[in-house]
Amino acid sequence: MRKIKNVILLGTLACSSIFAQQKPVYLDESKPIEQRVEDALSRMTLEEKVAMCHAQSKFSSAGVPRLGIPENWATDGPHGIRPEVLWDEWDQAGWTNDSCIAFPALTCLAATWNKDMALLYGKSIGEEARYRNKNILLGPGVNIYRTPLNGRNFEYMGEDPYLASRMVVPYIQGVQSNGVAACVKHFALNNQEIDRHTVNVNVDDRALYEIYLPAFKAAVQEGKAWAIMGAYNKYKGQWACHNQYLLNDILRGEWGFDGVVVSDWGGVNSTKQAIYNGLDMEFGSWTDGLSEGASNAYDNYYLAKPFLKLLQSGEVKVEEVDKKVRNILRLAFRTTMDSKRPWGSFGTVEHAAAGRKIAEEGIVLLQNKNNVLPIDLNKAKKIVVVGENAIKSMTVGGGSSSLKARYEISPLDGIKGRVGTQTQVVYARGYVGDASGNYNGVTSGQDLTENRSESELISEAVNMAKDADVVIFIGGLNKSDFQDSEGNDRKHLELPYNQDKVITELSKANKNLVVVNISGNAVAMPWANTVPAIVQSWYNGSESGASLASILVGDANPSGKLPFTFPVKLDDNGAHKLGEYPGNGEVTYNESIFVGYRWIDKEKIKPLFPFGHGLSYTTFAYGKVSADKKEMDADGKMTFSVSVKNTGNREGAEIVQLYISDLKSSLPRPVKELKDFQKIVLKPGEEKVVTFTIDKSALSFFDAAKHDWVAESGDFEALIGASSTDVKTKVGFKLR
Ligand code: BGC
């Protein structure tokens, strides 16, 4: 018996040691990732390598089946997991189990100014992606808000590079904790939709490094993003998806990016440039399905057969494909081949609750005269809701970020659901915007057709409004073409569909008017002086209406602040004032670093609502800021402290902002720049001391001649503000 046992034991040991010996290095998760990459690479044929560098369907690319390396599956992004499309078409696949939780748009996330919300967002959407078996999430987007007309601003994080940088990092970390790569987009300078496939962006190095690149740099170096997406536009005459300067010099050279560069869909235009200028994976190229692509369109991709031929002929060295495949293999080991990655979850109540929390923290109370808000439900017996955006589905539309949501609570339903039966809620359409409800093959299922005339709609709303306790107008933009939507920009700053007139008439009919603007962009508000309460809401996804209702009745105390400036008119924006938008094939960013509040400050313009602005139902008092020393040495740090007290009678959160001002410099600098912020929660009467510690980087500018960051010695000021124009206290200091 003992003999038999020994034989079995020996046999087992022998087998496991043979197995251990035979286990290839690339499958051995105890080995360093680079060793595994080299091992896998050494086993691959040229054909297998090339197959990895381009799409095999609308959203997937090949793995190496022979070696057990899975395919890559990408998904939009960035506000929820896109419904499945057909293998070879943009049309919906018609699945019945791909309805996601729609999260608030990234503008809303930025408006929370809360890094914990960004982490929660990333973790939640990453779980949804993982459950759907995607290993690349096409988001977040961090293109800077240069003009309020950009149709895709709603997918980005506002006008300030510091705010966008701080918010993008936790989003990425959250997504990637699921073994799903965040694919940060669109790198770089994709700041308008007009001519996005052709426009060549001319920008000086200072603006490039100080304004347009920092959020991408933070995403790469701090967020450790595993993927990045090239933009459609050109820079220095080369398309951004294969761009020597952006991809080879900056992204990989200066920042040390070791992830995958993915093209935007159809963003590749040349095989040679795609080979040499930093691209790894090509997606979405167009083939006509006749002469090209009659059998397999994907063979005709720039990085498919044409690439293979060049490699086979020796015209292109194998090292070029190896460079790309290394990055793609690294992605596989970080995602699909990580045996410890979690399983994810989809459409859960936890995700819905996360979306709601983010929305409640991101909605911004812009104005609240006479304390019209929050609505006192003990007093308000009749509420009139007016406007198309109170009922229109907003998760559908807008381009590639369009979603098929598991559900979406409209503002009207959110309000009705919250106020209960004690208060009557009646609705009037007020205006007709876009009644279609059909975008990108996803239909909202709504038929908003309305045959009454403009004046009939207005008189109905006005008549209802006359004897209401509160009137809530819910309008703004929507996700239709030429509004907040991909592929085109807005045509003007004004609200569309004659909404200004409806609002003006309502303000005459009832003094308790609340205007809720739902948009991803600033809009003109010529009626701002006659409307007591204005709320900036966003495309807030599944829980949109519920979160808005919470704010309106005061269940949640507003604590969002604007991530971009609301100018009075377009000319109050540098890009428009200086005339280079949208350009004509070429667009030159003449305003340079003076984007958003930097332009407003420089030109001493009074904005409609400034960057960083947002009110609360409570009030805060700021103490005097102090610095821990008078001088900072070049390698040192400096700490500023300020006390903030809740002087109202309910709990609330305040976003305390630190701006730095360089009083004298050899180059023109913005009057001030955001360099830190903190969101603090205070009970009534509670006081907290907020501290900010900065180092030299907060004082530096990008010196184009030196191609480096420079902090000049001299006098600076630290300004503590409740917004970019509401500076509460300041203190001077020197850099030695
Ligand atoms: C958009 C990307 C998107 C891709 C895939 C492109 O048109 O610019 O942001 O991820 O399509 O849908």
Output the six-digit token pair for 706. Answer: 């030196």
Q: Is any ligand 1 atom within 6 A of the Cβ of residue 475?
A: no
- Per-residue pLDDT reduced to its tens digit, 89-124: 888 899 999 999 999 999 999 999 999 999 999 999
Count of beta carbons in the 10 Å neighbourhood of residue 514 = 23
Give pLDDT tens digits for 638-682: 999 999 999 999 999 999 999 999 999 999 999 999 999 999 999
Q: How far away, in angstroms, is 292 Cα from ligand 1 center? A: 23
Q: What is the number of other CB atoms lying within 10 angstroms of the CB of residue 592? A: 20
Residue 629's CATH number: 2.60.40.10
pLDDT at 290: 62
- Whose CA is closest to atom 4 on ligand 1? 265
Question: For the chain, what is the radius of gyration of the CA atoms?
Answer: 27
Q: For residue 196, give the ligand 1 atom closest to its CA.
A: 8
Determine whether the shortest distance from the Cβ of 400 to ligand 1 is under 6 A.
yes
Beta strand residue intervals within 647-713, DSSP E = 652-662, 673-682, 687-695, 701-703, 708-710
Residue range of the domain that includes 722: 618-735
Residue of the CA atom closest to atom 6 of ligand 1 = 265
Q: Do both 302 and 433 map to the same domain?
A: no
What local confidence, expressed as pLDDT, does residue 297 receive? 86
Q: What is the pLDDT of residue 468?
A: 98
Verify that 369 and 328 share a domain, yes or no.
no
Write the CB contacts of 118 (distance below 8 Å, at least 6 apart in sequence).
109, 112, 167, 168, 169, 170, 171, 174
Q: What DSSP string runs through 204-264?
A: -HHHIIIIISHHHHHHHHTS--SEEEE-SSEETTEEGGG-IIIIIIIIIIIT---SEEEPP
> How many domains is the chain built from?
3
Question: pLDDT tens digits, residue range 339-356?
Answer: 999 999 999 999 999 999
Q: Determine the distance separating the centroid of ligand 1 and the alpha carbon of 400, expressed in angstroms.
A: 5
Write down the mean pLDDT value for the chain: 95
Q: What average pLDDT does this structure show over 425-431?
A: 98
What confidence score (pLDDT) does residue 634 get?
77
- The first and second tokens of residue 44, run together, are 């691959």
Q: How sure is the predictor about 21, in pLDDT bands with cuts at 50, 70 and 90?
A: low
* 259 within some domain: yes
For the chain, percent of residues with pLDDT exceeding 90: 91
Cβ neighbours of residue 652 closer than 8 Å, sequence gap 6 or more: 557, 559, 616, 617, 618, 620, 646, 681, 682
* Ligand 1, atom nearest to 138 Cα: 10
Q: Whose CA is nearest to atom 11 of ligand 1?
A: 265
The total number of residues shown for the chain amounts to 736
CA–centroid distance, residue 169 to ligand 1 (Å): 21
Give the CA distances from residue 619 to residues 659, 676, 720, in Å, rounded to whole numbers and listed in that order: 21, 22, 16
Q: Are strands 364-368 and 234-235 parallel, antiparallel or unpaired?
A: unpaired
The helix/strand/coil state of 358 is helix
Q: Cβ–Cβ contacts within 10 Å for residue 334, how many?
A: 22
Ligand 1 center to residue 73 CA distance, Å? Answer: 14
Residue nearest to atom 3 of ligand 1 (CA): 400
Residue owning the nearest CA to atom 9 of ligand 1: 400
| Domain CATH for 491 | 3.40.50.1700
Burial track 36-53 (b if 16+ CB lie within 10 A, e otherwise): bbebbbeebeeebbbbbb
- Asked if residue 64 is part of any domain, the answer here is yes
Question: What is the structure's pLDDT at 3?
Answer: 46
Q: Is the pLDDT of residue 9 over 80?
A: no
Question: Which residue among 400, 440, 485 is best mutated to probe the pocket of ligand 1, counting the most ligand atoms within 8 A of its Cβ?
Answer: 400
**Are residues 286 and 398 located together in one domain of the fold?**
no
Q: Which of 57, 59, 75, 76 to mutate to test the pocket of ligand 1 (most atoms within 8 A of CB)?
A: 76
Nearest CA to ligand 1 atom 8: 264
Residue 489 lies in a domain: yes
Which atom of ligand 1 has the smallest separation from the CA of 185?
A: 9
Q: State in Å, rounded, how far the first CA of the chain is from the last one.
A: 84
For 80-89, 210-219, 353-362, 489-498, which range has the lowest pLDDT when averaged over its residues?
80-89
Question: Does a structural domain hold residue 63?
Answer: yes
Mean pLDDT of 699-724: 97
Within-domain flag for 149: no
Q: What percent of the chain has pLDDT over 70?
A: 96
Q: Return the pLDDT at 445.
A: 83
Tell how far the Cα of 264 is from the centroid of ligand 1, in angstroms: 6
If you measure from the C-alpha of residue 265 to the centroid of ligand 1, how many angstroms do you get, rounded to a whole number? Answer: 6
411 and 554 fall within a common domain: yes
- Verify whether ligand 1 is closer than 6 Å to residue 185 (CB atom): yes
Q: Is residue 635 part of a domain?
A: yes
Q: Does the residue 268 lie in any domain? A: yes
pLDDT of residue 12: 45
Task: Report the separation in Å between the CA atom of 141 and the middle of ligand 1, taken as the mean of its atom positions.
Answer: 11
Q: Residue 288 has what pLDDT?
A: 65
Domain end point (choices 274, 299, 334): 334
427 and 529 housed in the same domain: yes
- Residue 185 C-alpha to ligand 1 middle, in angstroms? 9
Give the per-residue pLDDT at 289.
Answer: 63
Q: Does residue 446 register a pLDDT over 90?
A: no
Q: Identify whether 703 is a catalytic site residue.
A: no
Regarding whether 327 and 410 lie in a shared domain, the answer is no
Q: Is 264 in the pocket of ligand 1 (CB under 6 A)?
A: yes
For residues 58 and 76, is the Cβ–Cβ distance under 8 A?
Answer: no
Which of 540, 560, 580 lies at the terminal end of a domain, its last residue? 560
Specify whether 286 is located in the same domain as 384: no
Q: What is the pLDDT of residues 572-616, one digit of tens each?
A: 999 999 989 999 999 999 999 999 999 999 999 999 999 999 999
pLDDT beyond 80 at 432? yes
One domain for residues 444 and 325 = no
86 CA to centre of own chain: 26
Q: Which atom of ligand 1 lies nearest, measured to the CA of 77?
A: 10
pLDDT, tens digit, for every residue of 401-422? 999 999 999 999 999 999 988 8
214, burial (CB in 10 Å: exposed 0-12, middle 13-18, buried 19+): buried
Predicted pLDDT of residue 5: 46
Average pLDDT of the residues in 712-736: 97
b/e per residue 269-289 (b: at least 16 CB within 10 A): bebebbbbbbbbbbbbbebee
Q: What pLDDT does 2 receive? A: 47
Torsion angles phi and psi, residue 10, rounded to 5 = -60, -45
Can you state the percent helix, strand and coil of the chain, rounding each to 5?
30, 20, 45
- Out of 98, 160, 264, 572, pick the active-site residue: 264
Please indicate, yes or no, whether residues 288 and 322 belong to a single structural domain of this protein: yes
Mutate to test the pocket of ligand 1, among 85, 136, 138 (most ligand atoms within 8 A of CB): 138
> Both 404 and 329 in a single domain?
no
Residue 629 reports pLDDT greater than 60: yes
- CB neighbour list of residue 576: distance below 8 Å, 6 or more residues apart: 147, 570
In a domain, 731, yes or no: yes
Q: Is the CB of 76 under 6 A from ligand 1?
A: yes
* 330 and 370 assigned to the same domain: no
At 291 the pLDDT is 65
Which tokens go with 142? 């961090």
Torsion of CA 186, 408, 549, 498, to 10 degrees: 70
Q: Is 601 in the pocket of ligand 1 (CB under 6 A)?
A: no
Give the mean pLDDT of 247-271. Answer: 98
- 441 and 299 in a common domain: no
| Ligand 1 atom 12 nearest Cα | 400
Instruction: Dump pLDDT digits (tens) for 272-309.
Output: 999 999 999 999 998 766 666 667 789 999 999 999 99
Rounded to the nearest angstrom, the distance between the alpha carbon of 210 and the centre of ligand 1 is: 26
| pLDDT one-digit tens code per residue, 368-380 | 999 999 999 999 9
Any atom of ligand 1 within 6 Å of the Cβ of 563: no
Please report the DSSP string for 419-430 in residue order. Answer: H-SSSEEEEE--
pTM score, two decimals? 0.96
Q: Is the CB of 98 under 6 A from ligand 1?
A: no
pLDDT of residue 439: 72
**C-alpha–C-alpha distance, residues 664 and 672, integer Å:** 12
Last residue of a domain, one of 301, 334, 367: 334
The structure tokens listed for 489 are 């920009």
pLDDT at 263 over 90: yes
